[in-house]
Amino acid sequence: MLIRRPFYFLRHGETDWNLNRKAQGQIDIPLNATGIAQAKRAAEVVRGLSVKSICASPLSRAFETARHSAEVAGVDIHVVENLRECGLGADEGRDGGPWFMDWRAGTYTPEGAETYDGFLERALLGVNEALSRTCDDPLLIVAHGGVFWSVARHIGLGPDVHAGNGVVMKVHPLADGWDFEILG
């Protein structure tokens, strides 16, 4: 269960592998020029949110995105290992295709990979660690599209909702569910 605390979520900026639809998984691919520009634009959104704390994945594409927001917010970045993207084992670096949807459906697991459900549970642990790590609101979590699937599942958005590169989202608990808003 997702800890009931408001937070902002930011998916890292674009990488060349995002652009070419390659499965990055936990390979540490850096932001490309578009991704750096997206991170800077996201930081301008974050500037207006009075963020007091940032937790990020240790992978450079997320950490570098977080760094831009941390600079404008004047806060440190806390690295949370479980915010790391899914481990796709032998299929990391492979072109996207039907195999990836089979992995998400639970009918295929690459050699050395996390199962999809196992990944979502680990990602939830990472988000909850970030949410329980600090009392400073508002909190920004900077991670990956796969980590957002776990958030989406636990706030009731469904499996077809995706986080765009460099997009800031607001996640807020309500008395009877969750509110979700894309800020830019």
The per-residue pLDDT for 58 is 98
Q: Give the pLDDT score at 62.
A: 98
**Cα end-to-end distance, the chain, whole Å:** 27
Domain boundaries defined on the chain: 7-182
Joined together, the tokens standing for residue 98 give 């039907």
Percent of the chain with pLDDT over 70: 98
pLDDT tier at 162 (50, 70, 90 boundaries)? Answer: confident
6 prior amide bond cis, ω within 30: no
Mean pLDDT of 100-108: 94
- In angstroms, the Cα distances linking 88 to 8, 10, 25, 116 are 26, 22, 5, 9
Q: Write the pLDDT tens digit of every residue in 14-58.
A: 999 999 999 999 999 999 999 999 999 999 999 999 999 999 999
Note whether 91 and 25 are within 8 A (CB): yes
pLDDT band at residue 127 using 50, 70 and 90 as cut-offs: very high
pTM over 0.85: yes
Specify the fold of 7-182.
Rossmann fold (3.40.50)
Q: What is the pLDDT of residue 160?
A: 80
- List of residues 6+ apart from 57 with CB closer than 8 A: 12, 63, 79, 80, 83, 84, 85, 126, 142, 143, 144, 147
In eight-state DSSP terms, residue 182 is: E
Lateral strand order in the sheet of 139-143: 77-79, 53-56, 139-143, 7-11, 168-174, 177-182
